[in-house]
Chain A
């Protein structure tokens, strides 16, 4: 089954404790992206990747890191999480980043930073 998977689905952590949220897709998609969703703000793009080893900042990249060492995986790293990073995070992928192809979203990761 074609899908985007994220792990973990739920995470409660404390301020400053490094964490990684994994994202994997099995559709051989070139484009992958991370978003955070907050009430009243919609989805905001954190980082995206047009292909392996090619990443670029979205609208809200501060406090996050990403890497794209292989096509199927695009982990999101929070080196020193803070409470304002409490949010619902979505990973997405599409065949390419040109907008002509549907973005498939993962199920979401709900992160709470205390």
Chain B
């Protein structure tokens, strides 16, 4: 199946620093999504990107849908302790029938630790 390569695998930063993570794929995706997962919980959607080249912000978070449709990045500015968690990128593509969306592929995740 399709695979997403997410990097870095983990980050240890000081409070106030900016964070950048990215995902690349060998396949084209129609939608890119970024999720955050906190311990003991399911992932929660942070940002959704629908068009190649799209740049979208959500508070201190900014994400971009790569022009080639094979990559995306997420930036977090001025990190705070509550940013701790696992961040996942995900790409949405058409299903096997080719007529509908639904098949979602996740990256391996970036574990973010923020030191006060």
- Residue pair B6, A97 in contact (C-beta under 8 Å): no
| Residue in A44, A50, A108 whose beta carbon sits within 8 Å of that of B100 in the complex | A50
Report A-chain residues with C-beta under 8 Å of the C-beta of B103. Answer: 45, 48, 56, 58-59
- Binary A-proximity of B73-108 (CB < 8 A = 1, otherwise 0): 000000000000000101010011100111111111
Q: How far apart sit A91 and B7, CA to CA, in the bound complex (Å)? A: 25
Q: Is the CB of A99 within 8 A of B30?
A: yes
A57 CB–B CB distance under 8 Å:
yes
Give min CB distance, A15 to chain B, whole Å: 26
What residues of chain B lie closer than 8 Å to A102, measured between beta carbons? 45, 48
The total of chain B residues at the interface (CB under 8 A) is 32
Rounded to whole Å, the gap between the CB of B47 and the closest CB of chain A is 11
Q: How far is the CA of A58 from the CA of B95 in the complex (A)?
A: 8
CA of A50 to CA of B100, assembled, Å: 8
Q: B96 is contacted by which of A35, A57, A60 (Cβ under 8 Å)?
A: A57
Contact between A107 and B102 (Cβ–Cβ < 8 Å)? no
**Which among B6, B92, B102 is the interface contact of A56 at CB below 8 angstroms?**
B102
Which residue from B9, B41, B44 sits with its C-beta under 8 Å from A107? B41
Is B56 an interface position by the 8 A CB rule?
Answer: no
Interface size band for A: 20 to 34
Q: Which residues 51-107 in A have Cβ within 8 Å of B in the complex? A: 56-60, 90, 92, 97-100, 102-103, 105-107
Contact with A along B40-51 (1 / 0, CB 8 A): 111111001010
B33 touches A (CB below 8 Å): yes
- Taking a contact as CB atoms under 8 Å apart, the answer to whether B50 and A42 are in contact is no
**Chain A residues within an 8 Å CB radius of B97:** 56
User: B25 within 8 Å of A by Cβ?
Assistant: no
Residue positions of B touching A, CB distance < 8 A = 1-2, 4, 6, 9, 30-31, 33, 40-45, 48, 50, 88, 90, 92, 95-97, 100-109
